[in-house]
C-alpha cells in the first residue's frame, strides 16, 4: 500500500476567476489508504441537508466509505422546509447542477415587496438594464413605487457604497463610518465590530428614514435573516446584503426550484450518491460520541444502542439539533467550543400551501411582505408560475412561508387559514372573493438559524476540539462570504476538505469563490483598510468603545 502525503492547504482553494478557469492545487494519494482488514476509511456524516450531502458528494467521489445519518425529520431537513430562491451568486450549487445533469430551476425572475399600502418595490432584472448612471441609481430607484423621494435619498449611504463613482474615493477615508458596506469585508475583525449592534441600529446610524426602514429594509431583513431587524446582527445583515444585493447589480435576480426541493434536487442527488456506495440511514438520532482517550479522536458515533465506527465525523446539523445532541452527550459536554453553542438561538417556520377555487392574478410570482404583523416576516409565491406540476392548473395554487412564527405554530389549521387569507387579501384584493379548497400546513419549530446581535462569538468554526470531528452548515463561521443554501453547501465541501487533509488522502474539492466586488468597491475597501491601519497606531485608539 502506497503512502499518501499531506500538503499545507486551507480547505478553501485559492481565488480563481470563472467556472471554466479553475487551477486548484491538488493533493492525492496514488491509492486510497485502507485499514489492515482491507476496508476503506469510514466517514460518518450527521445531517442530510445541503451541507451534509455536499460533504458526502465530494468524499464519495474520493472513494471513502460514507454513511449519512438522519434523524426523525427525514432527509433534507431543515434545508427543504420552505420555498426559497437561488441567487446568481450561488455558483457552487449551479456547478453541482451541471455535474448532476439535472434541471431543477426556473429562469431568472423578478421579485416584489408589499407594505400595508400595497406594492412597494419591484426588484428589476438588472442584466436587461444599462449601468446605473448616478450614485443614486435613477433606474434602480424607479422601481420604488410608493416611497417618496426624500425617503429614497436616505438610502444613499448604503446604496452609494455599492454604486458611487470612483472619483468619490478622495473623501472616503473621512466618511467610511457612513458606508458600512465598504467597511464590512467579512473578516473576523469586521464581524466582531458590527455583530454587537442590531440591524435597526445600523440603519439608524446611517440616517435612514422611518418609512424606508418600516416598509423596505425591515421586511427585507426579516425574510432574509428570518427575524426582525431589531433582533438581527448588523454584521449578518451587512454580509447578506452585500452578497445578494449591493456588490453587483444583477445579483438580486432569483431562480426557483420547479417543484419540491426534495423531489427535484435532493432525490436525484441522493440516487447518484447511492450509486457511488453512499449509505443513507434514516431515523438515526445521534446520542453520543465515543473517542479515544489517548488520541482525542472520535472513534464511534452512537445512536441509542447502535454504534457506527468512523475515521472522521462531520456534523452537518442545525443549531437546535446540535444543542439537543450536546445536552445528551457526555463527550460533547466536556468541550468549551460545543458548550458555547448552547447560547445560540433558532427560529420557528410555518409553511402553508393553498389551492383556491378560482384563478387570482398575482402580478409577480415571488413576494416579500410587511405591515400585517410585526411579529413575523412572510413571503408568498405563485406556484402556477414556479412549479411544473401547477402550470396548467385552472385555479391558483400558492405557498406562503412565515418566519419567526412563534405565535402561529400553536394555532389550529382553521385559524391559520383565516390569518393567511386575511394577509393575502390585504395586498391583493382578489383574494377576498376566493375560497380555499385544499391546504397543506407544515410546522417547523427551531428549524432556522437566528443571527442575533452578539451571536458570532458563540458560533463554531469548521474544525473542533476533536481532531477528526468537523462542522458544516449555514451557521458555521467561514470566510467564503456566501449565504443561505450556497453557504451550507460550501461548508460541506470545506468539511470534506478537512477530512481529506486529516486522513491525508484524496483530492481537495474545488470551491468556486464569491465573485469579487466591482473594482471601485475593492478600491474603497483598500483605502478603508489603510485608513484603519493608520488609526490603530494613534494614541488611545483602543481606549474608547468601538
The tens digit of pLDDT for each residue in 38-80 reads: 689 999 999 999 999 999 999 999 999 999 999 887 888 877 7
User: For 223-232, 248-257, 289-298, 380-389, which range has the lowest pLDDT when averaged over its residues?
Assistant: 248-257
- Does residue 311 share a domain with residue 237? no
Model confidence band, residue 546 (pLDDT cutoffs 50, 70, 90):
low
Q: In this structure, is residue 172 part of a structural domain? A: no
CATH of the domain at 488: 3.50.50.60
Same domain, 220 and 322: no
Dist CA 53 CA 489 (whole Å): 8
**With b meaning 16 or more CB within 10 Å and e meaning fewer, what string describes 392-407?**
eeeebbbbbbbbbbee
Do 349 and 461 share a structural domain? no
Is 97 part of a structural domain of the chain?
A: no
Domain hosting 204: range is 109-162+177-252+345-453
Look at the chain and report how many structural domains it folds into: 2
Mean of the pLDDT values across residues 110-129?
Answer: 72
3-state secondary structure of 395: coil
pLDDT of residue 376: 82
Confidence of residue 171 (pLDDT cuts 50, 70, 90): very low
* 195 & 310 share domain: no
- Asked if residue 34 is part of any domain, the answer here is no
Q: pLDDT digits over 488-504, tens only?
A: 999 999 999 999 999 99
Kindly state the percentage of the chain with pLDDT values over 90. 60
Is residue 196 domain-shared with residue 298, that is, in the same domain?
A: no
* Residue 473 lies inside a defined structural domain of this protein: yes
- Classify 308 as helix, strand or coil: strand
pLDDT band at 420 (very low <50, low <70, confident <90, very high): very high
In a domain, 16, yes or no: no
More confident call, 15 vs 364: 364
Kindly state whether residues 152 and 221 are assigned to the same domain. Answer: yes
Q: Considering the domain boundaries, does residue 509 fall inside one?
A: no
Residues 276 and 401 placed together within one structural domain of the fold: no
CB 395 within 8 A of CB 384: no
416/489 same-domain check = no
Specify whether 380 is located in the same domain as 482: no
8 Å CB contact between 376 and 404: yes
Supply the CATH number for residue 189's domain. Answer: 3.90.660.10
Q: What is the C-alpha to C-alpha distance for residues 350 and 399, in angstroms, rounded to an integer?
A: 11
395 and 327 in a common domain = no
- Flag whether 227 is in a domain: yes
Residues 283-317 as b/e (b if ≥16 CB within 10 A, e otherwise) read ebebbbbebeeeeebbebbbbeeeebebbbbbbbb
Assign 3-class secondary structure to 333-348: HHCHHHHHHHHCEEEE
Single pTM value for the model = 0.86
Residue 432 lies in a domain: yes
Residue 398 main-chain phi, psi, to 5 deg: -140, 165
Report how far residue 395's alpha carbon sits from residue 387's, in angstroms, rounded to the nearest whole number.
14
Same domain, 123 and 187: yes
**Mean pLDDT, rounded, for 84-99:** 94
Length of the chain: 546
The answer to whether residues 48 and 134 belong to one domain is no
pLDDT of residue 21: 35
Amino acid at each position: 500500500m502506497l503512502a499518501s502525503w499531506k500538503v499545507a492547504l486551507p480547505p478553501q482553494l485559492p481565488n480563481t476567476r470563472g467556472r471554466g478557469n479553475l487551477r486548484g492545487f491538488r493533493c492525492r494519494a496514488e491509492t486510497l489508504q485502507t485499514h489492515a482488514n482491507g476496508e476503506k476509511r469510514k466517514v460518518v456524516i450527521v445531517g442530510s441537508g445541503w451541507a451534509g450531502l455536499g460533504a458526502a458528494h465530494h468524499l464519495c467521489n474520493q472513494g471513502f466509505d460514507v454513511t449519512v445519518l438522519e434523524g426523525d425529520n427525514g432527509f433534507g431537513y431543515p434545508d427543504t422546509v420552505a420555498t426559497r430562491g437561488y441567487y446568481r451568486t450561488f455558483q457552487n450549487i449551479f456547478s453541482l447542477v451541471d455535474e448532476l445533469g439535472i434541471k431543477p430551476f426556473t429562469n431568472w425572475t423578478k421579485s416584489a415587496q408589499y407594505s400595508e399600502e400595497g406594492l412597494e418595490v419591484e426588484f428589476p432584472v438588472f442584466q436587461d438594464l444599462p449601468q446605473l448612471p448616478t450614485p443614486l441609481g435613477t433606474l434602480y430607484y424607479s422601481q420604488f413605487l410608493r416611497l417618496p423621494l426624500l425617503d429614497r435619498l436616505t438610502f444613499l449611504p448604503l446604496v452609494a457604497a455599492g454604486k458611487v463613482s470612483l472619483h468619490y474615493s478622495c473623501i472616503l477615508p473621512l466618511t467610511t463610518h457612513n458606508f458600512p458596506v465598504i467597511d464590512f469585508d467579512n473578516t473576523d475583525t469586521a464581524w466582531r465590530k458590527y455583530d454587537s449592534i442590531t440591524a435597526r441600529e445600523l440603519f439608524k446610524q446611517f440616517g435612514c428614514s422611518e418609512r424606508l426602514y418600516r416598509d423596505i429594509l425591515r421586511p427585507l431583513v426579516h425574510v432574509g435573516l428570518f427575524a426582525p431587524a431589531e433582533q438581527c446582527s448588523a454584521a449578518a445583515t451587512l454580509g447578506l446584503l452585500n452578497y445578494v444585493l449591493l456588490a453587483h447589480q444583477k445579483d438580486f435576480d432569483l431562480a426557483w426550484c420547479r417543484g419540491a426541493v426534495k423531489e427535484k434536487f435532493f432525490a436525484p442527488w441522493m440516487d447518484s450518491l447511492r450509486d457511488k456506495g453512499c449509505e443513507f440511514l434514516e431515523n438515526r438520532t445521534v446520542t453520543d460520541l465515543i473517542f479515544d482517550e489517548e488520541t482525542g479522536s472520535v472513534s464511534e458515533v452512537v445512536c441509542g444502542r447502535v454504534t457506527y465506527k468512523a475515521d472522521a465525523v462531520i456534523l452537518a446539523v442545525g443549531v437546535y439539533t446540535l444543542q439537543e445532541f450536546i445536552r445528551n452527550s457526555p463527550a460533547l459536554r466536556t468541550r468549551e467550543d460545543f458548550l458555547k453553542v448552547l447560547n445560540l438561538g433558532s427560529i420557528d417556520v410555518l409553511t402553508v400551501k393553498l389551492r383556491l377555487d378560482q384563478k387570482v392574478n398575482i402580478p409577480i410570482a415571488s413576494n416579500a411582505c410587511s405591515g400585517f404583523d410585526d411579529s413575523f416576516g412572510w413571503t408568498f409565491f405563485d406556484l402556477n408560475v414556479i412549479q411544473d406540476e401547477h402550470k396548467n392548473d385552472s385555479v391558483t395554487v400558492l405557498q406562503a412561508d412565515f418566519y419567526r412564527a412563534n405565535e402561529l405554530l400553536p394555532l389550529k389549521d382553521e385559524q391559520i387559514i383565516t390569518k393567511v387569507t386575511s394577509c393575502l387579501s390585504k395586498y391583493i384584493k382578489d383574494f377576498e372573493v376566493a375560497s380555499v379548497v385544499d391546504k397543506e400546513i407544515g410546522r417547523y419549530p427551531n428549524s432556522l438559524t437566528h443571527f442575533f446581535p452578539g451571536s458570532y462569538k458563540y458560533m463554531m468554526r469548521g474544525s473542533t476540539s476533536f481532531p477528526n470531528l468537523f462542522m458544516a452548515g449555514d451557521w458555521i463561521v467561514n470566510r467564503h462570504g456566501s449565504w443561505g443554501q450556497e453557504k451550507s453547501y460550501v461548508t460541506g465541501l470545506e468539511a470534506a476538505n478537512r477530512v481529506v487533509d486529516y486522513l491525508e488522502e484524496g483530492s481537495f474539492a474545488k470551491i468556486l469563490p464569491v465573485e469579487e466586488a466591482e473594482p471601485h468597491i475593492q478600491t474603497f475597501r483598500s483605502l478603508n483598510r489603510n485608513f484603519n491601519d493608520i488609526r490603530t497606531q494613534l494614541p488611545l485608539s483602543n481606549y474608547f468603545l468601538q
